[in-house]
Amino acid sequence: ILNVEQSPQSLHVQEGDSTNFTCSFPSSNFYALHWYRWETAKSPEALFVMTLNGDEKKKGRISATLNTKEGYSYLYIKGSQPEDSATYLCASAQSSTLGRLYFGRGTQLTVWP
Amino acid sequence: GAVVSQHPSRVICKSGTSVKIECRSLDFQATTMFWYRQFPKKSLMLMATSNEGSKATYEQGVEKDKFLINHASLTLSTLTVTSAHPEDSSFYICSAFRTSGDGTDTQYFGPGTRLTVL
């Protein structure tokens, strides 16, 4: 079992604040790092898949970075909005078990208007 | 993103009965689908990998006779919880695996099924 850690476990911010969370994963046999956004009663939505060290991806106000050598990824949300409230999951894939994802527990973000 | 449906979204059953959960990939063919279970305040735990046309691969500690998986077509996988007991009450969620060939292979998830066994 791969140990994928996410912090913080939960976060409460005011509308307009920028925020970031961390995902750490074992760097050995690294293949890909996935970020998902999971709103209550909906399907987890794939945000990013990153494979290369130094990768940066952006989708609107959300961006992510990847450091495969030290085994961490950051997810940033600029100018948080109430609709950003969700649980953000990261998952790591190893080269030895292609397709299989190891999930962290998620960061639950609440954005207050 | 791709669309995966899961049915039912919520089911309550009596102890000893069997429950079938369906997972459908609506807009692409999925040779591989995954079944996860989530315990309260825990991460998604992989139960098994469902392979179209062949037997599922179960994770260590998951009873294959308890959790029957059938992947009869490229768009449908089913999970049957046989002789369900209260300890099987949980949140079950499936995903369909879409390959890209460039390392950005992605799992697309259904909305999950909340099973309560009385």
What is the 8-class DSSP label of residue B43?
-
| Whether A48 contacts A56, CB under 8 Å | no
Contacts of A95 in chain B (CB under 8 A): none
**For B93, what's the count of Cα atoms within 13 Å in the CB-facing half-sphere?**
20
Contacts of A90 in chain B (CB under 8 A): none
Is the bond into B8 cis (omega within 30 degrees of 0)? yes
Q: Is the dihedral of CA A4, A58, B32, B9 positive or negative?
A: positive
Distance, in Å, from the CA atom of A49 to the CA atom of A99, rounded to the nearest integer, reads 12
Name the 3-class secondary structure at A3: coil
Residue of chain B whose Cα is closest to the Cα of A9: B41
A31, A93, A103 member nearest B43 (Cβ): A103
Q: B26-58: per-residue pLDDT in tens? A: 999 998 999 999 988 888 999 999 988 888 999
Query: pLDDT of chain A along its 113 residues, tens only?
Result: 678 999 999 999 999 999 999 999 999 889 999 999 999 889 999 999 999 999 999 999 999 999 999 999 999 999 999 999 999 999 999 876 767 899 999 999 999 99
